[in-house]
Amino acid sequence: MATPNNIIIRKNDFDAAIFDLDGVVTKTMSTHALAWKKAFDEFLSQHQGNDSAVRPFDIETDYMIYVDGKPRLEGIKSFLQSRKISLPAGDPKEAPGFRSIHALGNLKNGYFLEKVKKDGVEVYQSTLEFIRKLKAQGIKTGIISSSKNCALILDSAGLAEMFEVRVDGVDLIKLNIPGKPAPDMFLEAARQLGAEPSRTVIIEDAVSGVEAAKAGGFGLVIGISRLGNRKDLLQYGAHVVVNDAAEISVAHDDSAARKPAELASAIESFAAIKKSAATKSIVVFLDYDGTLTPIVDTPDKAILSPQTRDVLIELSKKCVVGIISGRDMKNVKTLVGIDSLIYAGSHGFEITGPREFKESSSKGIAFLPALDQAQKVLEEAISQIKGVLVERKKFAIAVHYRLADPADVPEIEHAVDKVNSLHQDLRKAYGKKVFELQPNIDWHKGKALLYLLEALGLDKENVLSLYIGDDVTDEDAFRALENKGIGIVVWDTPFPTAAKYSLKNTDEVRTFLSLLIQICGGPHE
- Reported as a single tens digit per residue, the pLDDT across 61-118 is 899 889 987 888 899 999 999 999 999 999 988 999 999 999 999 999 899 988 888 8
pLDDT at 482: 84
Question: What are the tens digits of pLDDT across the range 379-419?
Answer: 999 988 999 989 888 888 989 888 888 888 888 988 998 89
pTM equals 0.67
Residues 200 and 150 in one domain: yes
Q: How would you class 381 by CB atoms within 10 Å of its CB: exposed for 0-12, middle for 13-18, buried for 19 or more? A: middle
Question: What are the tens digits of pLDDT across the range 188-213?
Answer: 999 999 999 999 999 999 999 999 99
Residue-by-residue DSSP string for 349-389: TEEE-STT-----BTTGGGHHHHHHHHHHHHHHTTTSTT-E
Q: Which residues contact 434 (CB under 8 A, 6 or more apart)?
A: 160, 398, 399, 400, 401, 402
Contact 142, 190 (CB under 8 A): yes
Reported as a pLDDT band with limits 50, 70 and 90, residue 523 is very low
Polymer length in residues for the chain:
525
pLDDT at 242: 94
CA 174 to chain centre: 21
Is residue 11 assigned to a domain?
A: yes
pLDDT at 432: 73
What share of the chain in percent tops pLDDT 90? Answer: 53
Is residue 403 assigned to a domain?
A: yes
Is residue 525 assigned to a domain?
A: no
Residues 148 and 233 in one domain: yes
CA distances from 247 to 17, 185, 311 (A): 16, 26, 45
135-139, 299-303, 457-461: which range is least confident on average? Answer: 299-303
Is residue 524 assigned to a domain?
A: no
Contact 124, 27 (CB under 8 A): yes
Residues 318 and 281 in one domain: yes
**Range of 471's domain?**
260-362+443-519
Amino acid identity of residue 86, one-letter, is S
User: What is the C-alpha separation between 374 and 124, in angstroms, rounded?
Assistant: 37
Burial profile 450-461: b = 16 or more Cβ within 10 angstroms, e = fewer: bbbbebbebeee
Q: What is the strand order of the sheet 200-204 is part of?
A: 165-167, 140-144, 16-20, 200-204, 220-224, 240-242
User: What is the C-alpha separation between 135 and 139, in angstroms, rounded?
Assistant: 5
Amino acid identity of residue 265, one-letter, is S
Contact 455, 212 (CB under 8 A): no
121-125, 429-433, 447-451: which range is least confident on average? Answer: 429-433
Question: What are the tens digits of pLDDT across the range 116-128?
Answer: 888 888 899 999 9
User: What is the C-alpha separation between 333 and 511, in angstroms, rounded?
Assistant: 22
Residues 62 and 197 in one domain: no
pLDDT at 261: 60
Residues 320 and 227 in one domain: no
CATH number of the domain at 427, please: 3.30.70.1020
Residues 174 and 264 in one domain: no
Is residue 255 assigned to a domain?
A: no
Residues 457 and 486 in one domain: yes
pLDDT at 421: 87
Residues 343 and 240 in one domain: no
Q: Tell me which residues are annotated as active site.
A: 287
Is residue 2 assigned to a domain?
A: no
Which of 202, 208, 174, 173 is closest to 187 using CA atoms?
A: 202
Is residue 182 assigned to a domain?
A: yes
User: What is the C-alpha separation between 71 and 180, in angstroms, rounded?
Assistant: 8
Number of independent structural domains in the chain: 4
Q: Which of 414, 439, 464 delimits the end of a domain?
A: 439
User: What is the C-alpha separation between 229 and 29, in angstroms, rounded?
Assistant: 15
More confident residue, 204 or 438: 204
Please tell me what DSSP assigns to residue 458: -
Residues 34 and 115 in one domain: yes
CATH number of the domain at 269, please: 3.40.50.1000
CA 420 to chain centre: 18
Residues 105 and 15 in one domain: no
Q: Which of 415, 439, 463 delimits the end of a domain?
A: 439
**Which residues is 289 bridged to in the sheet?**
293
Is residue 106 assigned to a domain?
A: yes
Residues 290 and 205 in one domain: no
Residues 168 and 245 in one domain: yes
Q: Which of 96, 119, 142 delimits the end of a domain?
A: 119
pLDDT at 524: 36
